[in-house]
Amino acid sequence: MAKKAKAKKGGRESLVVTSKVKGFVRNAKMICAGDLAEAVDGKVREMLAAAAKRAAANKRSTVRPQDL
């Protein structure tokens, strides 16, 4: 059986994969701060919330790429 993901601050699961964020930054020849993945997760949540709000305003229940 797969292990459950650990909940971060606020009791919510991260939407981003920390190792992938760090790998992306390393490929750019940069160093990754320890809290970068958490900040990226916050931005992704903001973007998705705004996209969902836009879709609802357009009387749709499907969030589409153009909502971003």
- The domain locations on the chain are 37-68
pTM metric for this prediction = 0.79
Q: Which residue has the higher pLDDT, 1 or 45?
A: 45
What is the tens place of the pLDDT at every residue in 10-59?
678 999 999 999 999 999 999 999 999 999 999 999 999 999 999 999 99
DSSP codes, 26-61: HHTT----TTHHHHHHHHHHHHHHHHHHHHHHTT-S
Q: With beta carbons less than 8 A apart as the criterion, state whether 25 and 10 touch.
A: no
Q: With beta carbons less than 8 A apart as the criterion, state whether 41 and 18 touch.
A: no
The token duo for 49 is 């919330």
